[in-house]
């Protein structure tokens, strides 16, 4: 099976029960944002920009749990902000487990190893020592950290921690291989930390998923390479979604990075070009998504938007009408369901936007539930076969694959290092932020690689602006890098 049986059965029961009750609109996944604070400033992130005036606010634990109980969604995606910064994240996960929900902890990965060390300290026993030694020999835990785990004090042993469970996934944000990912999160070293966290999680028996956002400059060949690498690490599944051009993210992009948002975000046509291989990837890798949504992304069908099925709850309440667009916030999910004129938003079955802001949206939060909730005979059968069919085997590990993954800071090709070097050379030869020329992925790494990727939209160096724009971009990134250092604990 692609997904664990018990959670799958619970989700199926939720759908059937609501349909039998005649409920036309109900929640499938709650996007729970207990805070918007983040330790990173990813390019394209709408949250830290839209909620910039409430970054220090938190949703109290009880309110988070009440929101989950009110909307009854069987799946909770804890996002943000960086949820591992939320002071009661362990209690939140435990409380949602107690409610019987499937949980995705969406994280940038930087604090994951710290959280897993805390779990080991709280539950350390001689049986765990073998795994600890394995982690030390793989350099995923230092000798000093291992000793701290073995000799944990009373407080550490009593701490509520996030334990491995079939009812939750670490859902790690990875937008590309090392060069690209570090560039998008605007910090070198983050990709390496994510990989270390994934490796440690797999040793300890956690379920791990990854989530990837695709932008206009994303190289499709690189994505396939990334999935191969992640699969070889034993990652259990992947979500992938086209980027949405949040107003706040667009403004930030113009002001801070001097970039044109139209160079970054996807239109519907471009999304379909980027995702033309998605169904093949669904066969090769454990892509989390219904076949209907994958067909939609590949341009083989239209879907209407069901934003009500993936509601967002945050410091201001229930965000309406959807995860990406904000008109207002409501105090309860039921009030949001009743008061939003859903016919005003989304797209019709022909793909025409009912609201201009919906025109280019193909986000999974709007369209995935439409495919999942379809009661058409074909969709039901195809969904059943996809979910209950066998899971794609992990991609074989190889040195070539690993070398291809670490194509950035590890080999001295970090974008910030390069930018600094360019500054020192009076900017001569500086590379644009997304220039593929600076990201020499050996496209033949890994067996069976398909070269049929989209050079038309992204390849061969995507520098679109004049040299001065590139320089402003690089200067902004250097300034951002000086402000914050990567911290792993
Ligand atoms: S189409 Fe996209 S932007 Fe429009 S309501 Fe649906 S999810 Fe929101």
User: Could you tell me the distance, in angstroms and rounded to a whole number, from the CA of residue 334 to the centre of ligand 1?
Assistant: 19
Question: What is the CATH topology of the domain spanning 5-388?
Answer: TIM Barrel (3.20.20)
pLDDT band with cut points at 50, 70 and 90 for residue 422: low
Assess whether pLDDT exceeds 80 at residue 438.
Answer: no
Q: What is the DSSP string of 353-367?
A: BSSGGGTT---HHHH
Ranges 30-44, 69-83, 261-275, 415-429: which has the least confidence = 415-429
Is pLDDT at 166 greater than 80 in this prediction? yes
Ligand 1 pocket mutation pick from 246, 271, 307 by most atoms within 8 angstroms of CB = 307
Which residue out of 353, 361, 362 has the highest number of ligand 1 atoms within 8 Å of its CB and is therefore the one to mutate?
361
Residue 156 belongs to what H/E stretch?
helix 154-158
pLDDT level of residue 157 (50, 70, 90 thresholds): very high
Using one digit for the tens of pLDDT, what is the confidence trace for 126-146?
999 999 999 999 999 999 999
Across 434-461, average pLDDT:
36
pLDDT band at residue 164 under the 50/70/90 scheme: very high
Over residues 161-168, mean pLDDT: 96
Q: Which of 310, 325, 327, 359 to mutate to test the pocket of ligand 1 (most atoms within 8 A of CB)?
A: 325
Lowest-confidence pick of 20-34, 189-203, 452-466:
452-466
Query: Which residue of 366, 367, 369 sits with most ligand 1 atoms within 8 Å of its CB, as the best mutation to test the pocket?
Result: 366
Supply the pLDDT for residue 53: 77
Distance in Å, CA 152 to ligand 1 centroid = 48
Give, using CA atoms, the residue closest to atom 5 of ligand 1.
346
Whether residue 472 is predicted with pLDDT greater than 70 in this model: the reply is: no
Substitution candidate for ligand 1 out of 327, 340, 346 with most atoms within 8 A of CB? 346
Q: Give residue-wise pLDDT tens across range 270-280.
A: 889 889 888 89
Would you list the DSSP string of 456-474? Answer: HHH-S----S-HHHHHHHH
- Closest-lying ligand 1 atom to the alpha carbon of residue 361: 2
Q: Residue 273 C-alpha to ligand 1 middle, in angstroms?
A: 20
Residue 331: what pLDDT?
97
Give the mean pLDDT of 350-368.
85
Among all chains, which residue has been given the structure tokens 């830290």?
48
- What residues flank ligand 1, with Cβ below 6 Å? 305, 307, 321-322, 324-325, 345-347, 357-358, 361, 363, 365-366
CA 320 / ligand 1 centre spacing (Å): 10
* Mean pLDDT of the chain, nearest integer: 83
Q: What is the pLDDT of residue 101?
A: 96
- Beta strands, E only, 93-220: 102-107, 168-173, 207-214
What is the mean predicted confidence (pLDDT) over 352-380? Answer: 86
Our CA dihedral for 193, 197, 199, 202, rounded to 10 degrees, sits at -170
Q: Flag whether pLDDT at 434 surpasses 80.
A: no
- pLDDT surpassing 50 at residue 252: yes
pLDDT at 302 over 50: yes
Q: What is the mean pLDDT of residues 311-334?
A: 95
pLDDT for residue 266: 76
List the residue whose alpha carbon is closest to atom 7 of ligand 1: 366
Residue 4 CA to ligand 1 center (angstroms) comes to 29
At residue 47 the predicted structure's pLDDT band, cuts being 50, 70 and 90, is confident
Percent with pLDDT over 90 in the chain: 54
Distance CA 241, CA 105 (A): 17
Q: From the CA of 130, how far away is ligand 1's center (Å)?
A: 48
The Cα 18–Cα 40 span in angstroms is: 39
Categorize the per-residue pLDDT at 333 as very low, low, confident or very high, splitting at 50, 70 and 90: very high
Mean pLDDT of 203-208: 98
- Single out the residue of 394, 364, 382, 386 nearest to residue 284, CA to CA: 394
Task: Give the distance, in angstroms, between the CA of residue 203 and the centroid of all CA atoms in the same chain.
Answer: 21
User: To 10 degrees, the CA torsion angle through 363, 369, 370, 372?
Assistant: 130
**Which atom of ligand 1 lies at the shortest distance from residue 346's CA?**
1
Task: Write down the pLDDT at residue 119.
Answer: 98
Q: What is the pLDDT of residues 3-39, one digit of tens each?
A: 778 888 888 899 999 999 999 999 999 999 999 888 8
Q: Which atom of ligand 1 is nearest to the CA of 345?
A: 5
What is the mean predicted confidence (pLDDT) over 411-422?
74
Tell me the pLDDT band of 359, cut-offs 50, 70 and 90: confident
pLDDT of residue 277: 85
| Mean pLDDT confidence for 410-425 | 72
Report how far ligand 1's centroid is from the alpha carbon of 360 (Å): 9
Give distance in angstroms: CA of 310 to centre of ligand 1.
Answer: 11
CA dihedral 223, 225, 229, 232 (to 10 degrees): 110
For 314, residues 6+ apart whose C-beta sits below 8 A from its C-beta are 32, 33, 34, 36, 51, 59, 329
Residue 250's pLDDT is 64
pTM of the model: 0.82
In the chain, % of residues over pLDDT 70: 81
Mean pLDDT of 288-292: 88
- Closest protein CA for atom 6 of ligand 1: 346
**Worst-scoring range by mean pLDDT, 1-5, 216-220, 292-296?**
1-5
The pLDDT of residue 449: 36
Cα–ligand 1 centroid distance for 343 (angstroms): 11
């Amino acid at each position: 099976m692609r997904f664990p049986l018990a959670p799958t059965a619970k989700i199926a029961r939720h759908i059937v029960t609501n349909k039998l009750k005649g409920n036309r609109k109900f929640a499938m996944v709650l996007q729970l944002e207990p805070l918007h604070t983040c330790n990173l400033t990813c390019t394209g992130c709408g949250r830290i920009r839209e909620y910039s005036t409430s970054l220090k606010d938190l949703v109290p634990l009880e309110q988070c749990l009440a929101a989950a109980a009110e909307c009854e969604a069987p799946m909770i995606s804890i996002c943000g902000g960086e949820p591992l910064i939320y002071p009661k994240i362990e209690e939140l996960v435990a409380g949602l487990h107690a409610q019987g929900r499937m949980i995705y902890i969406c994280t940038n990965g930087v604090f994951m190893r710290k959280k897993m060390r805390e779990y080991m300290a709280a539950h350390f026993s001689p049986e765990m020592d073998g795994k600890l030694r394995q982690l030390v020999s793989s350099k995923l835990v230092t000798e000093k950290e291992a000793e701290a785990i073995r000799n944990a004090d009373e407080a550490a042993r009593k701490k509520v921690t996030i334990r491995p469970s079939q009812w939750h996934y670490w859902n790690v944000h990875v937008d590309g291989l090392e060069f690209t990912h570090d560039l998008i999160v605007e910090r070198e070293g983050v990709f390496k930390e994510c990989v270390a966290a994934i490796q440690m999680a797999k040793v300890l028996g956690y379920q791990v998923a990854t989530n990837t956002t695709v932008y206009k400059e994303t190289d499709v060949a690189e994505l396939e390479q990334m999935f191969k690498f992640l699969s070889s690490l034993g990652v259990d599944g992947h979500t992938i979604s086209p980027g949405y051009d949040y107003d706040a993210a667009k403004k930030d992009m113009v002001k801070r990075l001097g970039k044109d948002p139209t160079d970054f975000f996807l239109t519907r046509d471009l999304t379909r070009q980027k995702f033309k291989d998605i169904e093949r990837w669904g066969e090769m890798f454990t892509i989390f998504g219904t076949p209907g949504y994958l067909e939609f992304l590949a341009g083989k069908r239209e879907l209407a938007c069901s934003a009500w099925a993936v509601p967002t709850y945050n410091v201001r309440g229930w965000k309406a009408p959807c995860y990406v667009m904000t008109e207002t916030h409501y105090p309860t999910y039921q009030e949001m369901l009743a008061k939003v004129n859903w016919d005003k938003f989304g797209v019709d079955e022909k793909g025409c936007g009912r609201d201009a802001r919906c025109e280019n949206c193909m986000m999974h939060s709007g369209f995935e539930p439409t495919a999942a909730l379809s009661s058409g005979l074909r969709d039901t059968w195809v969904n059943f076969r996809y979910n209950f069919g066998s899971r794609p085997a992990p991609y074989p590990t190889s040195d070539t694959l690993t070398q291809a993954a670490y194509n950035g800071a590890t080999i001295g090709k970090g974008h910030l290092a390069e930018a600094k070097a360019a500054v020192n050379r009076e900017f001569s030869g500086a590379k644009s932020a997304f220039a593929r020329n600076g990201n020499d992925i050996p496209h033949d790494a890994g067996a069976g690689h398909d070269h049929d990727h989209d050079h038309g939209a992204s390849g061969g160096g995507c520098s679109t602006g004049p040299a001065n724009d590139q320089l402003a971009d690089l200067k902004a990134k250097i300034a951002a890098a000086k402000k914050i250092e990567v911290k792993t604990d």
